[in-house]
Amino acid sequence: MEAKGTKLIKSKKFKGVYHSILSNGGKHNDKSFYVIYKLNGKTHKVFMGKESEGINEPFCAQQRNDIINKARFGEDAPIVKYKNKSGVLFSDMVEKYVQSKTNSRKVTLAYIAIKDIFGNSRLDEITIDAVNKFKNKLISDNKSPKTVTTYLQRINTIFNFAIDRELFKGQNPCKKVDKPKIDNERVRYLAHDEVTQLKEAIKDKPMLLLFVELSLSTGGRLETITSISKKDINLISCAIQLKNHKTNNTYAGFISDSLLLLLKARYSELQTPNDKVITTSPKTIQKQLQPLLNKLFNQGLDTKDTKNRVVVHTLRHTFASHLAINGVSIFTIMKLLDYKDIKDTLRYAKLSPDNGLEAVRGLWK
């Protein structure tokens, strides 16, 4: 019999699973198992049974996961009953993947966030239906298509990681789950007079001005621009080595005439090859620049109008758009943006001088 007030011992491996040692009236060292979970702000504690009855931690973890899934996804959520066999847990595989990426803090934080998506389910228990229900739950919670796709891609990565290392011999359920369509094409770019207006507004903020000039000259993303150091710059050939932090590779960018004078002055101030050209952090750049962009260009626009709102990333889009307007080939633009797929660059084709506009305008003269 279990004494009143017996201390619950937390499982070292399974989230929300606890046990207590029976003090008397039962088998020697017998245990009582419980699961604890929180739903809608309320904490629930459920007795699962005793070790002498065949109850153990993996079983409790699966039952807890089933309870939570039913509450989240509805009463028809698939319940995969515990089977007395071993299998790698989704949460454990996320930890193994994170450990393999210890040099990337951004990757680590992103994947830790998905660790508990399927609770303590084994990989062989996560079905196509379960992934679809998770996707539909995100959609019903008004998550954006991009956010939903990101979650699905991360789950997919964990399965591929397990399969590649022969830690899991099943099929990747994500391969047969349709991703929501993402309409992330940005229509907005800055015209010449708007670029001039922006530069005029930040002329007394040298670090911000240099960031904008570098962005408009290279098309680099925020993290790319803020990671440029002295050793990456060649003033003689007017070239800059850029880092694509999405793919972890480097590519070539070039220095425009408007950037050259600013960059020469900044270059002479740098003491060591590793000194950063932009000393302001990406977060601070974003914090300083976005309110100014809102004031200059976003008045009256809905905050959800991603197609037409000007954001920091619009500088990259402006760079590519004006290249296309000036007749630069799509393949060259693809190279300068460090895109791997020509489809990512085709959006700029409509801005090309030979896009058909002049032919149509003169059609019925």
Looking at residues 139-152, what average pLDDT do you find? 86
Q: Classify residue 54 by burial, with Cβ atoms within 10 Å: 0-12, 13-18, 19+.
A: exposed
Tell whether the model's pLDDT for residue 309 goes beyond 70: yes
Q: State the Cα–Cα distance between residues 61 and 77, nearest whole angstrom.
A: 16
Question: Which one-letter DSSP state was computed for residue 180?
Answer: P
Based on the domain organization, do 242 and 310 belong to the same domain?
yes
In this predicted model, what pLDDT tens digit does every residue of 116-145 receive, in sequence order?
888 778 888 898 998 999 999 888 888 878
Distance of alpha carbon 123 from alpha carbon 104, whole angstroms = 25
- Regarding whether 110 and 66 lie in a shared domain, the answer is no
Measured in whole angstroms, the distance separating CA 124 from the mean position of its chain's CA atoms is: 26
| pTM for the full predicted model | 0.58
Instruction: Evaluate whether residue 313 is within a structural domain.
Output: yes
Quickly state the pLDDT bin for 18 (edges 50, 70, 90).
Answer: very high
What residues contact 29, with CB distance under 8 A and at least 6 apart? 21, 22
Q: Is residue 167 part of a domain?
A: yes
Is 230 in the same domain as 350? yes
State the CATH number of the domain containing residue 210: 1.10.443.10
Q: Is residue 78 part of a domain?
A: no
Evaluate whether residue 82 is within a structural domain: no
Q: Is residue 144 part of a domain?
A: yes
What mean pLDDT is reported for the chain?
85
Q: Please say which residue of 151, 176, 201 terminates a domain.
A: 176
- Check residue 82 and give its pLDDT: 43
Residue 256: its pLDDT value, please?
Answer: 92
Domain final position from 48, 73, 98: 73
Measured in degrees and rounded to the nearest 5, phi and psi for residue 279 equal -90, -10
Tokens of 97: 């993947």
- Structure confidence at residue 334 as a pLDDT band (50, 70, 90): very high
Give the model's confidence band at 260: pLDDT under 50 very low, under 70 low, under 90 confident, else very high.
Answer: very high
Listed in sequence order, the residues at least 6 apart from 3 whose beta carbon sits closer than 8 Å to its beta carbon are: 23, 24
Least confident of 10-24, 199-213, 304-318, 331-345: 10-24
Q: Which residue has the higher pLDDT, 67 or 103?
A: 67
Q: Which domain covers residue 60, as residue numbers?
A: 9-73
pLDDT at residue number 205: 96
Classify 135 as helix, strand or coil.
helix
* CATH code where residue 124 lies: 1.10.150
Same domain for 113 and 48? no
Confidence at residue 361, expressed as pLDDT on a 0 to 100 scale: 52
290 shares its domain with 155: no
Question: Does some domain include residue 317?
Answer: yes
Alpha carbons 88 and 296: distance in angstroms, whole number? 53
Query: Burial letters for 220-248: b for 16+ Cβ neighbours within 10 Å, e otherwise?
Result: bbbebbbbbbbebbeeeebebebbbbeee
Task: Give residue 316's pLDDT.
Answer: 95
Do 106 and 172 lie in one domain? The reply is yes
Please check the confidence at residue 62 and state whether its pLDDT lies above 90: no
Choosing from 123, 149, 176, the residue where a domain stops is 176
Helix/strand/coil for 43 = strand
Weakest mean pLDDT among 47-61, 62-76, 180-194, 201-215: 62-76
Q: Please give the average per-residue pLDDT across 66-88, as a whole number.
A: 59
| Structural domains of the chain, count | 3
CATH number for 25: 3.30.160
Residue 153's CB: how many other CB atoms inside 10 A? Answer: 11
Measured over the CA atoms of residue 120, residue 125, residue 126 and residue 130, the dihedral's sign is negative
Instruction: Give the DSSP letter string of 190-251.
Output: --HHHHHHHHHHTTT-HHHHHHHHHHHHH---HHHHHT-BGGGEETTTTEEEEEETTTTEEE
- Could you tell me if 53 and 110 lie in one domain? no
Whether residue 85 has pLDDT greater than 50: no
Predicted pLDDT at 364: 59
pLDDT at 65: 83
Asked whether residue 105 falls in the same domain as residue 42, the answer is no
DSSP letters of 267-287?
HHH--STT-BS--S-HHHHHH
Read off the pLDDT of residues 225-239 as tens digits, 9 standing for 90 and up: 999 999 999 999 999
Examine the domain organization and report whether 197 and 337 are in the same domain: yes
> Following CA atoms 209, 335, 190, 194 in sequence, which dihedral angle do they give, to the nearest 10 degrees?
40
Shared domain check, 350 and 280: yes
Residue 49 has a pLDDT of: 83
Residue 332 and residue 281 in one domain = yes
* Local structure of residue 68 (DSSP, 8 states): H
Average pLDDT over residues 344-361: 70
The model's confidence at residue 81, banded by pLDDT at 50, 70 and 90, is very low
Average pLDDT over residues 158-164: 92
Torsion, Cα 342 347 351 353, to 10 degrees, reads: 30
Give me the percent of the chain exceeding a pLDDT of 70.
86
- Answer whether residue 2 shows pLDDT above 80: no
Q: Is 255 part of a structural domain of the chain?
A: yes
Residue 68 belongs to a domain: yes
Residues 285 and 168 in one domain: no
